[in-house]
Structure 1
Amino acid sequence: MPLPRVVIVGRPNVGKSSLLNWIAGRRIAIVDDVAGVTRDRVATLAELPDGRNSRFIELIDTGGVGIVDRDDLSEHVERQIETALGEADVVLFVVDVRDGMMPLDEEVARRLRYVQAPVILALNKADDPKFDAQGQEFYKLGRGKPIPISTHQNRNKSELISLILDHLPPEDDGSKVASEAMKLAVVGRPNTGKSTFINTLAHAERMIVSEIPGTTRDSVDVRFELDGLPFVAIDTAGVRRKAKIRDDLDFYSIHRAERSIRRADLVFLFIDPTQGVTRLDKQLADYITKQYKPCVIVINKWDLILSDLAGPARGETGRYATMVQHAFKGMSYAPIAFITAQTGKNVKALINLAQAMYKRAHRRIGTGTLNRILREAVTAHAPPVRENRVPKIYFATQVSVAPPTIVLFVNRPGLFDPTYQRYLLNVFREQLPFNDVPIKLYLRARTQTDPSKPRLEEEEPPDITARSSSNEFEMDELDEEINDLLGEFEDE
């Protein structure tokens, strides 16, 4: 399963950003007394202690609900909040116990009634137990017993973390893929043959098929089986450029298409070769990449291209594939499939490819294997010195699947530039069974302290990249080091 997401929501200026920094153990979000500082979602990796082991989560801060933005970005802020809530596994609903219950608190509670994830109500700024009695009125919000906390006084942090751990979904060891139906989102510009493709899969006229672009207004789920395995195909409205959005229906079509991408296990990005690759196709690919979704670039209507060729078609497919790879540089790992949805040519092969990618995205790699590959990569190409400091990687571990999520424990994340991070991602993609799926990479400083407290000096852990290449790499020693530093990790 993906890394669990814990989303922090509330009205402006109740201390949401301070809470994110407090739980994460380091200063990430901007903290200011002026309401509305946070607009976009701010996400970070957080490690929650759970006995001898640790549980990793993605902690997400959101803008204040109901804020009137001075730069007229209120609609953008609201959309970011809605997106975060739609992805949440746990919601932290934050209120200010000193201010008492405000109308906007009730508005937040009203919105959360439609959220599937469990909600924890946190009474922030309860610096002293005397404020706990003031929180009784928040029972009216219908979220059970609230927990008083204080990010400033470090009060009830362990109790809050225990509540979060209790509400997280159970951990998945990644050893087997869930038997539930794989969700396939079919996206692209209007009139690229998406609905025809869905009909071919379902062997029935489940979608309205029309030559008029934009027929499908909403996202529709179509269930089908192939070789006894269940699938759900999500047909979406064609995505238009913003300059061509004519009414509210087009706006919501785009919004629903993006939501379909977020909830899908794999995305088919449909391209019409008779129109070529457009800027909108690239923007859509960029959104898929940001969501870390496995993607197949589907060239539909390929029979029309071949029929127009005067000479032999040999080599034309390869040339077009090279052009598409060049156009989608940020998604160079994504496979390209050539199909004809109307006749069903290569459709079954496309679904088989999607199933194989789905399984690869759920693979979990043992810590020993991962660190051996990492050591070889750093030995072949060491990170450059920055700010007169030598970047060091202590060890790596995979903490989640779908997407495969790898955490590198380093001496200082800022020393590793994006170019070197891309190099490591490419090595992982080549050496691990993740050649055609996105990988999420986190760099985490080994020394973690509370941002409100002075940093303590710690003895540096061993650097796996500093081992002599002439000595055999002892995996047992590495496992002992990892157990001492992070807890127990199990190899696949």
Structure 2
Amino acid sequence: MGLSTVAIIGRPNVGKSTLANRFCQSREAIIHDQPGVTRDRTYQRGFWCNSEFNVIDTGGIVFNDDSEFFPEIRNQANIALQEAQVAIVVVDGQQGITAADESIAEFLRGHKCPVLLAVNKCESPEQGLSMAAEFWSLGLGEPFPISAIHGAGTGDLLDKVVSYFPNEKAVASSDEQPIRLAIIGRPNVGKSSLLNTICGENRSIVSPIRGTTRDTVDTYVERENHRWQLIDTAGIRRRRSVDYGPELFSINRTFKAIERSDICLLVVDAIDSVTEQDQRLAGRIEDEGRACIIVVNKWDAIMKDSHTMATMEKDFRNKLYFLDWAPMIFISALTGQRVQSLFSIAKIVLEQYRRRVTTSVVNEVLKEAIGWRSPPSNRGGRQGRIYYGTQVATSPPSFTLFVNDPKLFGETYRRYIERQIREGLGFEGSPLKIFWRGKQQRDAERDLSRQYSYLNNH
């Protein structure tokens, strides 16, 4: 049995995302005064007393406007209500009852899900009760006066929420942590369409309008005998095109998604080819040390022959030369072509990302590399020497090479050694980190260690 679920719904700008963050003690949901910031349904993990539960934050429901995203937002709210054991409808106590609140109350009567009424923005305990009393007329039961931003009254609301949960304790299906797969790319390359195709449902709103996705949308699926956490992210435009507000917050969430991921799916557009912004995103992924798969989307829209894929891959790799270690796959999120193959590739990439090799194997590769190409010498005739190397970390695989003087090894030779390690040891789909340590560094560290031991013992 999985965790119970709470859906938070209401009209725009009543504080739904603030309440979701309050329940989950987080700042994951984007909060801004502008209406319509939240669009997709987003999931977080909430805790109260001895209960752990999922919290679904939804976009603001509007019934008298079918423009832009409002029909899709209503559909996302419907799905959330079908998943939830209890729903919280949030209203604004300072504004009082509106026609939109009455429409939502009528809409909820068509659902079997139990509903609790939270009257938000009731910061004053004395005035809060009188402000909440007005909402009895909605016919949704007892109104709870709360302040989502300050936390007042949310404890009483949560006591009522958990009373709707089944008594049985949730049993985890597996102790295995999910593999975090972040879907990264520019706006309108098909990130949300890819997520929806994987899930087989409209998990994220898809629109030709740039910036449709704002929050990072986490979804869990089972593939290849593993549990995967898919993170759909906002498209990232060039910095000079971004204004302060929801889009800037979305971009920050995207960067955080890269940091917390195991593997990044860098989605690029087969029609537009690789742009400067794609290159910047690829550089960000490499800098963060994350495994990567290059996903070329919209393959169905390309006129092609037997040479098209090879020609296009060569062109894409030339432009993304610093990700030459990342596998590339051509897909169509629209038709589903090769989409499910992503998981078999990701499984192999993850194994390489977490793989560790013995010191003896590392040194065999280094010995062969030095045999083919000796380390360079400086103008004074002093030649670089590599004494030995060892792997010091995984995720990403990291190696320390012990040498006589790191300054004797230029970028060209360092890249050569990295290529030899890749050719000899693999690590496809994973960046490598190589640290060059000289004799002076080792001596200094050893002296510091001895001083530290002396001070501890005297």
Cα separation, 1, equivalents of 2:214 and 2:232? 10
* Residue 245 (structure 2) pairs with residue 241 (structure 1): no
Give, as a single letter, the amino acid of the residue that structure 2 aligns with 1:278: T
* Residue 356 (structure 2) pairs with residue 364 (structure 1): yes
Cα separation, 2, equivalents of 1:318 and 1:217? 35
- Give how far 1:369 is off: 0.9
Matching residue of 1:392: 385
Give, as a single letter, the amino acid of the residue that structure 1 aligns with 2:236: V
Q: Moved runs in structure 1, 4+ residues, more than 2 A?
A: 446-454
- The structure-2 alpha-carbon separation of the partners of 1:316 and 1:441, relative to structure 1 and needing over 3 Å to count, comes to same
Instruction: Using the aligned pairs only, state the percent identity.
Output: 36
- Give how far 1:452 is off: 13
- The structure-2 alpha-carbon separation of the partners of 1:411 and 1:217, relative to structure 1 and needing over 3 Å to count, comes to same
* Aligned partner of 2:284 among 282, 287, 301: 287
Matching residue of 2:269: 272
Per-residue CA shift, 1:333-370, capped at 9, x if unaligned?
A: 21111001122110111111011100111111111111
Give, as a single letter, the amino acid of the residue that structure 2 aligns with 1:261: I
- Give how far 1:280 is off: 0.5
Cα separation, 2, equivalents of 1:413 and 1:387? 15
Matching residue of 1:430: 423
* Aligned partner of 1:338 among 315, 326, 330: 330
- Give how far 1:179 is off: 3.2
Conserved in 1, the CA contact under 8 Å of 2:183 and 2:265? yes
* Residue 208 (structure 2) pairs with residue 216 (structure 1): no
* Aligned partner of 1:376 among 368, 390, 396: 368
Cα separation, 2, equivalents of 1:216 and 1:393? 49
- Give how far 1:442 is off: 0.5
- Give how far 1:195 is off: 0.5
* Residue 432 (structure 2) pairs with residue 439 (structure 1): yes
Matching residue of 2:193: 196
Give, as a single letter, the amino acid of the residue that structure 2 aligns with 1:398: Q
Give the secondary-structure state (helix, strand or coil) at the position aligned to 1:283.
helix
Matching residue of 2:407: 414
Give, as a single letter, the amino acid of the residue that structure 2 aligns with 1:332: D
- Give how far 1:453 is off: 8.0
Conserved in 1, the CA contact under 8 Å of 2:185 and 2:191? yes
Cα separation, 2, equivalents of 1:407 and 1:380? 21
- The structure-2 alpha-carbon separation of the partners of 1:382 and 1:452, relative to structure 1 and needing over 3 Å to count, comes to closer
- Give how far 1:228 is off: 3.5
Cα separation, 2, equivalents of 1:358 and 1:375? 28
Give the secondary-structure state (helix, strand or coil) at the position aligned to 1:398.
strand
Give the secondary-structure state (helix, strand or coil) at the position aligned to 1:239.
coil
Q: Runs of 5+ in structure 2 lacking a partner?
A: 1-174, 451-458
Q: Runs of 5+ in structure 1 lacking a partner?
A: 1-177, 457-492
Cα separation, 1, equivalents of 2:439 and 2:260? 33
Conserved in 1, the CA contact under 8 Å of 2:268 and 2:296? yes
Give the secondary-structure state (helix, strand or coil) at the position aligned to 1:353.
helix
Give the secondary-structure state (helix, strand or coil) at the position aligned to 2:326.
coil
- Give how far 1:427 is off: 0.4
Matching residue of 1:352: 344
Give the secondary-structure state (helix, strand or coil) at the position aligned to 2:419.
helix
- The structure-2 alpha-carbon separation of the partners of 1:382 and 1:346, relative to structure 1 and needing over 3 Å to count, comes to same
Query: Within 5 A, what are the aligned runs for 1:81-480?
Result: 179-306=176-303, 313-388=305-380, 389-447=382-440, 448-450=442-444
Cα separation, 1, equivalents of 2:445 and 2:177? 42
Cα separation, 1, equivalents of 2:420 and 2:176? 31
Give the secondary-structure state (helix, strand or coil) at the position aligned to 2:302.
helix
Give the secondary-structure state (helix, strand or coil) at the position aligned to 1:347.
coil
Give the secondary-structure state (helix, strand or coil) at the position aligned to 1:427.
helix
Give, as a single letter, the amino acid of the residue that structure 2 aligns with 1:424: I
Cα separation, 2, equivalents of 1:441 and 1:227? 31
Give, as a single letter, the amino acid of the residue that structure 2 aligns with 1:342: L
Give, as a single letter, the amino acid of the residue that structure 2 aligns with 1:394: Y
Could you state the TM-score of these two structures normalised by the residue count of structure 2? 0.57
Cα separation, 1, equivalents of 2:427 and 2:270? 28
Could you state the TM-score of these two structures normalised by the residue count of structure 1? 0.53
- Give how far 1:450 is off: 4.5
Higher relative contact order (CA closer than 8 Å, sequence separation 6+)? 1
Cα separation, 1, equivalents of 2:408 and 2:235? 42
Cα separation, 2, equivalents of 1:201 and 1:434? 26
- Greater CA radius of gyration, 1 or 2? 2
Per-residue CA shift, 1:156-192, capped at 9, x if unaligned?
A: xxxxxxxxxxxxxxxxxxxxxx932111110101111
Matching residue of 2:99: none
Cα separation, 2, equivalents of 1:382 and 1:179? 45
Cα separation, 2, equivalents of 1:440 and 1:317? 31
Conserved in 1, the CA contact under 8 Å of 2:222 and 2:228? yes
Per-residue CA shift, 1:101-142, capped at 9, x if unaligned?
A: xxxxxxxxxxxxxxxxxxxxxxxxxxxxxxxxxxxxxxxxxx
Conserved in 1, the CA contact under 8 Å of 2:349 and 2:428? no
- Give how far 1:390 is off: 1.6
